[in-house]
Structure 1
Amino acid sequence: MSHDHHHQHGGHDHGDESALADLLDLDAQALPDHLPEVTALIRDHLDDRPVRRILDMGAGTGTGALALAERFPDAEVTAVDISDFMLTRLRDKARAHDVADRIHTRQADLDTAWPDLDPVDVAWASNSLHHTADPERTLADLFATIRPGGLLALAELISMPRFLSAAGELADLENRAHEILTAENAAHVPHVGADWSTLLTKAGFEIQTERHIHIALTSPLPTSATQLAHHTLQRIRTALSDRLSPQDAAALDTLLSPDTLTHRPDLTLRDERPVWIARRP
């Protein structure tokens, strides 16, 4: 997951990178069944083919790399990201999970040059391709890196998750904030919401399945989901500080005051996450 405007989860503001890294980790903690579900979907499309090499493109803090290493215990994972900060956190987590010998990191800016990589059996790109300047070129490079018969698992976001009640003033506030963010994405991250099915086919992939995973957690939320709500709403508040009405800004400030979200009985976590499994013929 990435809900940020930095390319491939990167950036140069370590304070902002730290907040984004926390957000990525909280997402995995709040939804512990999501990545196992996706990696099981990958496994089910492999037709018993052995998996020895995996590529995680735009790896962020490594939640995907760790899930893939767990699902495929005989495989080595190469995790690529533009951000050394993210890759440092990833390496720390790999050591903590005793898989540092199987997860290798590469720092690379995909908009500059494709890294020199060995052929892989599976490639994973989670909420990273929309950050690239030319997704068609990146998909072509991924196609060339995957062995014939291998798979690309592509996960892309539709929008940021929703947390406030589905009706009422707070829902209206959240809707207004998302409308502003959607307009900004159209201007600054134009590939959010791209027609990935068409792009995958154009790159030469054969789409095996497209699945939209719907997430709907209701109160009482686990602590990690409440923390995810706080971090996400705080990023919205900061990003839109000069575009929110005084009333909306004040309402968000109230929600973000200590322990307020913890005690809200109407706090939810709602999201839709599309995943494509595509094969290189």
Structure 2
Amino acid sequence: MSGHQHTHTDHTHSHPHGGPAHADDAHPDWAAFGELLELSADVHTPAVEQTAEWLRGLLGGPVRRALDIGSGPGGATCVFARAFADAEVVAVDGSPELLARARDRAARLGVADRVRTHLAELPEGLAEVGDAELIWSSKAVHHLGDQQGALDRLAAALRPGGVLAVAEGGLSLRALPRDIGIGRPGLLTRLDAMQEEAFAEMRAGLPDTKETVEDWPAMLAAAGLTGARSRSFLIDLPAPLDAPARRLLHADLTRLSDHLADRLDATDRATLDRLLDPDDEAGVERRPDVFWLSAQTVHAAVKPR
């Protein structure tokens, strides 16, 4: 995970650790992750709220229109709709099922009058979304072969004085002690390394993929934006973990176990099986020492007036 931080909110909007619901990693079936993505949105809402306040300070004026590129079920969409009370916020995604969840979420949170949805595949659909003062994208760009090209397109859609913010990287989730009393210590660190390998293979399989030094502030500057900066936002939920976050962790580890099945040795496979067993006292649904500690890094820059 490290630089890419494939966490529990990692889709072109934020989607789970464990990869797609079918074998083609470069073209995941994100609709199959709907419930998991909704859980993730709930757990990560406080960090996105902090992000929205930080971005407010970078903006040169009011926000009348905002775009959430790769929105998934609309977690960030709805946060921005509440944070910028005069803005129309558009959830842009390639999954009709997830956009339906975004509309339902907006209705539940009382912002449906200012939330719109737009069905578009990336990167081709970026030309259709129109312009905005704020453009947000969480872990969408790393699913596109030409990451710099995608940033160039997004920067072109900014109104003068507007801000482009991309959530990429951060710190991988830690949820268990180093030594959990079963298997070999350091399980999550080994899983991180396996995920980095899987991520590199996913990137290599993308259409028109280009090798890029993932210096996001430099990439934003190359897109013609100014004042590029980065800030990380912490999710710190101490043990004992509450039920929603525990459910998310269990679901995420389940997908991770499946996704990395061919990379796991017998000992780590057996450890994961016990961690995922709802009847095992050593499992994540029962053990008292489960926590959640991760950080999401956001990179942002401004379009000159």
TM-score by length of 2: 0.82
Deviation at 1:120, TM superposition (A): 0.6
Residues 267, 8 of structure 1: alpha-carbon distance in 2 compared, 3 angstrom cutoff = closer
RMSD: 2.7
The CA distance in 2 between the partners of 1:18 and 1:256, in whole Å, is 23
| Aligned counterpart, 1:123 | 135
Deviations 1:45-86 (A, max 9, x none): 224x11110011110110000000000111101111111121
| Aligned counterpart, 1:24 | 37
The CA distance in 1 between the partners of 2:193 and 2:264, in whole Å, is 11
Q: Are 2:212 and 1:200 equivalent residues in the alignment?
A: no
The CA distance in 1 between the partners of 2:296 and 2:13, in whole Å, is 18
Letter in structure 2 aligned against 1:235: R
The count of corresponding residues between Structure 1 and Structure 2 is 279
Percent of residue pairs identical: 34
Residues 61, 51 of structure 1: alpha-carbon distance in 2 compared, 3 angstrom cutoff = same
| Aligned counterpart, 2:296 | 273
| Aligned counterpart, 2:208 | none
Deviation at 1:31, TM superposition (A): 3.6
Deviation at 1:18, TM superposition (A): 4.8
The CA distance in 1 between the partners of 2:213 and 2:51, in whole Å, is 20
Deviation at 1:146, TM superposition (A): 0.6
The CA distance in 2 between the partners of 1:118 and 1:28, in whole Å, is 25
Q: Is the contact made by 1:57 and 1:79 (CA closer than 8 Å) also made in structure 2?
A: yes
SS of the residue 1:211 aligns to: strand
The CA distance in 1 between the partners of 2:231 and 2:119, in whole Å, is 30
Q: Are 2:73 and 1:73 equivalent residues in the alignment?
A: no
Q: Are 2:268 and 1:255 equivalent residues in the alignment?
A: no
| Aligned counterpart, 1:178 | 192
Q: Is the contact made by 1:149 and 1:280 (CA closer than 8 Å) also made in structure 2?
A: yes
Gaps of 5+ in 1: none
Q: Are 2:158 and 1:146 equivalent residues in the alignment?
A: yes
Letter in structure 1 aligned against 2:302: R
| Aligned counterpart, 1:209 | 229
Residues 193, 103 of structure 1: alpha-carbon distance in 2 compared, 3 angstrom cutoff = farther
| Aligned counterpart, 2:261 | 241
Q: Is the contact made by 2:11 and 2:72 (CA closer than 8 Å) also made in structure 1?
A: no
Deviation at 1:231, TM superposition (A): 1.3
Deviations 1:150-177 (A, max 9, x none): 1112111346522221346565222222
Letter in structure 2 aligned against 1:266: D
Q: Is the contact made by 2:151 and 2:220 (CA closer than 8 Å) also made in structure 1?
A: yes
Residues 7, 171 of structure 1: alpha-carbon distance in 2 compared, 3 angstrom cutoff = same
TM-score by length of 1: 0.89
SS of the residue 1:253 aligns to: helix
The CA distance in 2 between the partners of 1:41 and 1:170, in whole Å, is 41
Q: Are 2:173 and 1:161 equivalent residues in the alignment?
A: yes
Residues 177, 23 of structure 1: alpha-carbon distance in 2 compared, 3 angstrom cutoff = same
Residues 202, 192 of structure 1: alpha-carbon distance in 2 compared, 3 angstrom cutoff = closer
Q: Are 2:36 and 1:36 equivalent residues in the alignment?
A: no
Which of residues 227, 249, 273 is equivalent to 1:229? 249
The CA distance in 2 between the partners of 1:207 and 1:166, in whole Å, is 39
Gaps of 5+ in 2: 23-27, 205-210
Q: Is the contact made by 1:91 and 1:100 (CA closer than 8 Å) also made in structure 2?
A: yes
Residues 192, 263 of structure 1: alpha-carbon distance in 2 compared, 3 angstrom cutoff = farther
Q: Are 2:211 and 1:188 equivalent residues in the alignment?
A: no
The CA distance in 2 between the partners of 1:83 and 1:121, in whole Å, is 24
Q: Is the contact made by 2:59 and 2:302 (CA closer than 8 Å) also made in structure 1?
A: no
Letter in structure 2 aligned against 1:143: A
The CA distance in 2 between the partners of 1:12 and 1:237, in whole Å, is 12
Residues 18, 118 of structure 1: alpha-carbon distance in 2 compared, 3 angstrom cutoff = closer
Residues 224, 248 of structure 1: alpha-carbon distance in 2 compared, 3 angstrom cutoff = same
Q: Which has the higher helix share?
A: 1
Residues 145, 16 of structure 1: alpha-carbon distance in 2 compared, 3 angstrom cutoff = closer
